[in-house]
């Protein structure tokens, strides 16, 4: 969603909406995945009239468009506690997502106000370690982008294959269940929809999108994606500020000249 389907100002353009309508006219199904909580995607679900399963928390929770839960993958409590400790050791701020509740330590912490504006609902302010038995995602937050790269690396090293850790934005690193990643979303949709992954197209712009690029038959990176991400995609479109989503769909999927 962010950096792909919507602009940096979180605008879903009329051309993007029309591109999805044209997919549907061709009999091509369309759905979305994001690190956002499911209800944080309502602002695009409704105008796009999505009827397929939707993957929130990078695949940690699959829901119907009315937010009825299809399946959820949580982090073990001891893993969640370990992740929070590592984030704090790096002087970053931990956010915890317990189902649809978003829990932060301080309302005025970096990016909280921006995230609230993005997802259209407020966080719960309190002890992020108070309840760790149903955690779907933990996010480490900092505006020190070099620190965030180190945090991603150190989390991956510490967690191994027990959980998934990846940057979803330069200032966010998301930790989810080891099977809750965007590659897992492709495989879940294959199972739920009965459509082979080889017949799916994925679009994205961040390192955590590479896992779904590798699982799908075709992939499209946005123009603002890093060179490393672009190299992993089948095609590269324009940036999200230059109708990259619509351009990618029109040119590489619908076959427009």
pLDDT > 80? residue 99? no
Identify the three-state secondary structure at position 173: strand
The two three-digit tokens of residue 52, written as one number: 């397929």
pLDDT > 80? residue 199? yes
Tell me the per-residue pLDDT of 147-169, one tens digit each, with 9 for 90 and over: 999 999 999 999 999 998 988 88
- How far is it, in rounded angstroms, from Cα 222 to Cα 135? 31
What pLDDT shows up at residue 179? 86
Tell me the per-residue pLDDT of 29-44, one tens digit each, with 9 for 90 and over: 999 999 888 989 999 9
- How far is it, in rounded angstroms, from Cα 233 to Cα 247? 15
Tell me the pLDDT band of 113, cut-offs 50, 70 and 90: very high
Please state whether beta strands 163-169 and 124-125 pair in parallel, antiparallel, or not at all (unpaired).
unpaired
Tell me the per-residue pLDDT of 32-77, one tens digit each, with 9 for 90 and over: 999 888 989 999 999 999 999 999 998 989 999 999 999 999 999 9
The two three-digit tokens of residue 77, written as one number: 């409590």
Q: Where are the beta strands (DSSP E) in 142-200?
A: 163-169, 172-177
Are the beta carbons of 241 and 213 closer than 8 angstroms?
Answer: no
């Amino acid at each position: 969603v962010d950096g792909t389907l919507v602009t940096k100002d979180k605008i879903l353009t009329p051309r993007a909406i029309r591109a999805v309508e044209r997919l549907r006219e061709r009999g091509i199904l369309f759905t979305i995945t994001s690190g956002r909580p499911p209800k944080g995607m309502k602002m695009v679900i409704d105008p796009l009239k999505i009827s397929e399963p939707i993957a929130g928390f990078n695949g940690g929770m699959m829901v119907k468009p009315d937010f009825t839960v299809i399946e959820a993958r949580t982090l073990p409590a001891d893993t969640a506690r370990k992740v929070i400790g590592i984030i704090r050791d790096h002087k970053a701020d931990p956010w915890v997502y317990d189902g649809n509740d978003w829990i932060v330590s301080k309302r005025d912490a970096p990016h909280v106000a921006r995230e609230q504006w993005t997802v259209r609902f407020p966080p719960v302010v309190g002890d992020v370690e108070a309840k760790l038995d149903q955690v779907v995602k933990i996010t480490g937050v900092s505006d020190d982008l070099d620190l965030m790269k180190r945090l991603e690396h150190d989390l991956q090293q510490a967690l191994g294959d027990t959980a998934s850790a990846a940057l979803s934005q330069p200032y966010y690193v998301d930790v989810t269940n080891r099977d809750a990643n965007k590659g897992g979303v492709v495989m879940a949709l294959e199972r739920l929809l009965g459509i082979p992954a080889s017949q799916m197209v994925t679009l994205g712009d961040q390192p955590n999108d590479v896992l779904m690029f590798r699982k799908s038959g075709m992939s499209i990176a946005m123009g603002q994606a890093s060179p490393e991400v672009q190299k992993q995609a089948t095609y590269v479109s324009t940036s999200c500020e230059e109708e990259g989503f619509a351009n990618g769909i029109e040119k590489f999927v619908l076959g427009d000249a």
